[in-house]
Structure 1
Amino acid sequence: MLGLTLLAAGLGTATSPASARPDRLGGEPVVRTQEGAVRGVDRGDHRTFEGIPYAAPPVGDLRFRPPRPVRAWRGTLDASAPRSQCAQLSNGTGNATTVEEDCLYLNVTTPTSRHPRPGGRPVMVWIHGGSFLTGTGGSYDAAKLATQGDVVVVTINYRLGPLGFLAQSDLTAEAPRLGSGSYALLDQQAALRWVQRNIRAFGGSPDRVTIVGESAGASSVCANVVSPTARDLFDRAIAQSYSCTTDVETLPQAETVGAGVVEEVGCAEAGDVAACLRAVDTQTLLEAWPGGRMVAGGAALPQQARAAFVDGTANRVDLIHGNTLDENRLFVPLDYGTSLTAEQYVAILTRTFAAAAPTVLDRYPVAAYPSPIIALSTVFSDANSPLSTCEHVDAYQVTDRVRGTRVYAYQFQDRTADPLIELLGDQNGAAHATELPFLFPGLFGDGLSAEQESLSDAMVEYWTNFATYGVPFGRGLPRWPEYRSPRDVLALDIGSAGGIRREDVAAASNCAFWASLAP
């Protein structure tokens, strides 16, 4: 369904989406959605509408159920600031602990240009990362994407931790077709349906929607790309730093994890386990959760993504995906500390690669790197993780098989970028998440240098032109070819370090070597 059109300021007649102007209330813009009016904030070159509910609060009896429609409201909703993030425990990266479950809100950023595109602007829907444990859409300032790219940007919340991913046999029995553990994925799709209903009212086109995400958000993008229940909700997809062919948990595996949570929170002996789980206080649930991810086995995600790409059942959408050069310079120091010794490096590779460890040590000798922790991070960034370059190269080759779609691949390589967490001093490198401030300035770090601003401008142009035209290009920028081989990957770097160029990342990361070790 199409959203309601705006009313022209000062007039009582409806206008077309291409020429629509928001009403004004107290000097601020008002947009009429199908559920009710929302009052945002005029910020000069863009407007924001934050904290808009897209589904009913998933509380009480709605906990561990698919999202339900939001109830319409009377009057005008104050959309001047984000609403609560979804329940989560703080992990030290800026998001505070909250036990609030009324959290299914989204935020819209739209340019104030007087010359909207005919038919509406392209729409980019951002799905945040955070290991499916933390994060919120309200943290991402989308002003640069919206104004430089002339697009409408929607950032969303979705249920996290056990509230978004707990699978359990009694919960599955309540909804045998969907299964359990897919609440977060269904939340994301409810937000995409809100976009289909309402985005015309904000000057956007429901016929040109691109979903974008990083890390867990990229895993979400990949899940939606192959989800039958997401069909026709978007047209293009960008997955940053997660491989679209990495297996997720199966429903039986996830239900085994869920059984442990049931035991931990004291519901194992309850006569009605599902009711008991809905009555457990939020903090207890969060603390009992060992971690989880998307669950394959229900109607929303019936099979693993790789299988859906191979058998052609994946949704036919054009795709950009890629990674950072040094993904694991974030995770390896967190897992092993920063003072790893050469002896520990050898021991870890021996445990990890068993009989192949001497061959790996010969290819990655510790003496070739500034420190053992950099050596280990390089091994895991090249191979052996869902974020690794070789895993991504494999994914490019698999996703490129879907007939009638285009695939584009990149690698972010700016080793001077600010890290999400300062761990390795001047050796942080192009670690996981370092590309985010180039799309969302101010997200973390000390700001961008002049060279980085130029790279940021280029990335925004590539990303938003892909959302607009289905092809990532930029005026005066290097051509980004469709993926046909590892030589078609676009390296994204500052000018003094090589700039933007095509690079064979498979050769740089020894992917043929890693393939030779596969059983």
Structure 2
Amino acid sequence: MRRRIARPGALTAALVAILVPAVHGATPPAGAADPVVAVTDHGLVRGTVTGARRDFSGIPYAAPPIGDRRWTAPVPPRPWTGVRGAAEPGPACAQLELPPYAASGSEDCLYLNVTTPRRAAGRGLPVMVWFHGGGFSSGAGGDTRATGLAARGDVMVVTVNYRLGVFGFLAHPALDGGTADRRSGNFGLEDQQAALRWVRGNAAAFGGDPHNVTIFGQWSGGKAVCLQMAAPRAAGLFERAITMSNPCLLHTVPNADGTPDPTPLGMPRPRAEAEGQGLALARDVGCADPGTAASCLRSRPVALLLDRAPALEYTPVYGGGGVLPVDPLKAFEAGDIARVPLMVGINRDAYRTSDAFLEEFGSAPLTEEGYRRRLRAFAGADGAGKVLNRYPLKDYGGVPSLAWSAAATDALLARPMLDTVRLLSPRLRVYAYEFADENAPWYTDVAKPSFPTGSFQDSELQYLFDTRYFRGRVLAPAQRRLSEQMIGYWTRFARTGDPNRPGLPPWPLGDAASDRAQVLAPGPAGVHPADLAQAHHYRFWLSVRY
């Protein structure tokens, strides 16, 4: 249901004039003793108190991007009168169903959710701002609830909706607006920056420190963290960064058959390619005339645009000015990024998710010959033999999907993570990790595949959040202990820029000399440092062309 926001009246203007200075200052506003009501710079919100935490959900941080505001930069929302209910998340941004993500037809979706410990007023808590995953095409901030992360970690957590797919990342010359910092193609990233500006202005109203902000995200949300580190307009909006399952130098995602993908799904696109895609879409929906393309596209129904714009193909855009003026990889290589402490990690069995979803969508289990074909497509005839010798089926119980996952995870995630650590460690503090629970619970609404899923992509989320994707799943005692340790590490890093704290196993600082990272697994010795270059055959993959 679309949320209706009343026009501001004299009462709202007076309240904002009186209360906003208190929101920005160190002194909590009058009435802050009521833990259910907070004073934002656009009006009062009433959340809920449950056990050890407070939740404020569905708070607008930007005006609805509907009608003439479709494909424009976000602007602040209108103030409202009275006390706005904040008990439920706002609608997810428009997207098709892509399991485990649900479909949505809403463009009125620029809402965020705040979770804090029950007693937070005036405390100056570290703020953690979460960008959800979903390939820049799916997901919502409300899918992950920070119940334990906020209460047990003693932090303020903000989860954010941002425009997705064609609505978040359509590049078309008619939508550029005429100025370099408003080039089309990155509306979703601009939404994230607007949410960060909202945090700067409003964190204190919820007990947070607006000058101690950590951005973090997983998969495409992790890529968004890297992109914001390289985005000039995001400078100064955060003090620390955590990218999960998407190292900042990751740039290759193969097709399902292993062949190189010249336009890898989920990766940023050069502007010329993105504009060509946008012009083709405009022709497809009857908006080819350059003089009327903008108004024509804005008149097209949500369902039509979602149907004609393939999921996972509309992603952030770089080059030609705009939010990402240069290729983010080149920005990282040149050191032209935010110099903030960084935590970066992968899941040991990440690519098992890929074959699991191929089976979910109807493909037969990978065969031995299919494994060999995939290796030839991925590494060429010469490289395939080398990879097969390094990853023989007998080492993986004769299960082709396990052998492929090991090879793909090492080549496509572990190598770029170690590349990221090696590149950045001379310039800033970097802490690397590997999530490695081989018995992590599987999704609730996705059938289990024909092979063990291990520490699959997304599995770490349930150790930090209560998530819709894993509802009803219960962690075993050793897994709950790992969850507590991970919450301790993540929130300590948000507090100080260093995950180490008393009571937790020491976590080494990343550097090129040792390639050490923290392994995160359940059990008495499950959390420990290890040489990930050796464990993931890093030097071998430097010798293979793919």
* TM-score normalised over the length of structure 2: 0.87
Unaligned runs of 5+ in 2: 1-14, 252-267
Q: 1:451 Cα shift?
A: 0.3
For residues 50-69 of structure 1, what are the structure 2 equivalents within 5 Å? 50-69=57-76
What is the aligned partner in structure 1 of residue 190 from structure 2? 186
What is the aligned partner in structure 2 of residue 122 from structure 1? 126
Q: 1:14 Cα shift?
A: 9.2
CA distance in 2, matches of 1:189, 1:429: 35
CA distance in 2, matches of 1:163, 1:233: 24
CA contact (8 A) 1:488 1:503 kept: yes
> Could you say if the C-alpha distance between residues 335 and 5 of structure 1 is closer, same or farther in structure 2, counting changes exceeding 3 Å?
farther
CA contact (8 A) 1:489 1:505 kept: yes
RMSD: 2.4
Moved more, 439-448 or 273-282: 439-448
CA contact (8 A) 1:5 1:16 kept: no
CA distance in 1, matches of 2:85, 2:318: 38
Q: Sequence identity, in percent?
A: 39
> Could you say if the C-alpha distance between residues 332 and 4 of structure 1 is closer, same or farther in structure 2, counting changes exceeding 3 Å?
farther
What is the aligned partner in structure 1 of residue 201 from structure 2? 197
Read off the aligned partner of 1:30 and give its amino acid letter.
V
Read off the aligned partner of 1:400 and give its amino acid letter.
S
CA contact (8 A) 1:338 1:424 kept: no
Read off the aligned partner of 1:62 and give its amino acid letter.
R
> Could you say if the C-alpha distance between residues 510 and 30 of structure 1 is closer, same or farther in structure 2, counting changes exceeding 3 Å?
same
CA distance in 2, matches of 1:256, 1:288: 15
Q: 1:504 Cα shift?
A: 1.1
> Could you say if the C-alpha distance between residues 109 and 115 of structure 1 is closer, same or farther in structure 2, counting changes exceeding 3 Å?
closer
CA distance in 2, matches of 1:15, 1:358: 62
Q: 1:271 Cα shift?
A: 4.2
Q: Does 1:313 align with 2:340?
A: no
Q: 1:109 Cα shift?
A: 0.8
Q: 1:173 Cα shift?
A: 5.8
CA distance in 1, matches of 2:467, 2:358: 27
- What is the number of equivalent residue pairs in this alignment? 501
CA contact (8 A) 1:296 1:304 kept: yes
Read off the aligned partner of 2:421 and give its amino acid letter.
Y
> Could you say if the C-alpha distance between residues 179 and 16 of structure 1 is closer, same or farther in structure 2, counting changes exceeding 3 Å?
closer
CA contact (8 A) 2:248 2:416 kept: no
Moved more, 393-402 or 369-378: 393-402
CA contact (8 A) 2:353 2:457 kept: yes
Moved more, 14-23 or 418-427: 14-23
| Helix, strand or coil at the partner of 2:36 | strand
Q: Does 1:450 align with 2:463?
A: no
Q: 1:6 Cα shift?
A: 11
CA distance in 2, matches of 1:430, 1:21: 48
Q: Does 1:281 align with 2:304?
A: no
What is the aligned partner in structure 1 of residue 78 from structure 2? 71
> Could you say if the C-alpha distance between residues 61 and 401 of structure 1 is closer, same or farther in structure 2, counting changes exceeding 3 Å?
farther
CA contact (8 A) 2:129 2:157 kept: yes
What is the aligned partner in structure 2 of residue 239 from structure 1? 243
Q: 1:28 Cα shift?
A: 6.9
CA contact (8 A) 1:487 1:502 kept: no
Indicate which of 102, 115, 120 corresponds to 1:109: 115
What is the aligned partner in structure 1 of residue 38 from structure 2? 31
CA distance in 2, matches of 1:418, 1:338: 23
CA distance in 2, matches of 1:490, 1:377: 21
CA distance in 1, matches of 2:214, 2:35: 28
Q: 1:16 Cα shift?
A: 6.6
| Helix, strand or coil at the partner of 2:543 | helix
Q: 1:208 Cα shift?
A: 0.2
CA contact (8 A) 1:6 1:17 kept: no
Read off the aligned partner of 1:206 and give its amino acid letter.
P
Moved more, 213-222 or 138-147: 138-147
1:250-299 C-alpha deviation (Å, 9 max, x unpaired): 11111122122212222124641111111110011111112222211233
> Could you say if the C-alpha distance between residues 304 and 419 of structure 1 is closer, same or farther in structure 2, counting changes exceeding 3 Å?
farther
What is the aligned partner in structure 1 of residue 395 from structure 2? 368
What is the aligned partner in structure 2 of residue 408 from structure 1? 431
CA contact (8 A) 1:122 1:204 kept: yes
CA distance in 1, matches of 2:162, 2:177: 23
Q: Does 1:263 align with 2:283?
A: yes
CA contact (8 A) 1:306 1:398 kept: no
Indicate which of 378, 387, 392 corresponds to 1:352: 378
